[in-house]
Structure 1
């Protein structure tokens, strides 16, 4: 039960970071013109990795 909640929360956080990345796209493009790089891509990648780990833990316990 706790693992299912953790996996669900991780999935929601991953979806929120994807939404944040999409919403921040104009800001990131403008910042790139100014020579500044925003770490939004790394944030989305880290959230995706966390979700994949949570998902693989479920499969490891089932098998």
Structure 2
């Protein structure tokens, strides 16, 4: 039961990170033009890796 809750939480977090990345995209584009890179891709990659590793442990 805890495993199902853990998977559901990771899936929701992954989806939330993707939506956040899409919403922050205009800010990221403006920041890149100013010479600053926002690390949103690292956040999404880390959550994706955690979600995929949880899927393989079933």
Q: Over aligned residue pairs, what C-alpha RMSD do you find? A: 0.5
2:27 counterpart residue number: 27
CA distance, structure 2, for counterparts of residue 56 and residue 32 of structure 1: 36
Q: Rg bigger for which structure?
A: 1
Unaligned runs of 5+ in 1: 59-63
TM-score, normalising length: structure 1: 0.89
Aligned residues: 58
Unaligned runs of 5+ in 2: none
> Cα deviation per residue 1:18-46 (whole Å; 9 max; x = unaligned)?
00000000000000000000000000011
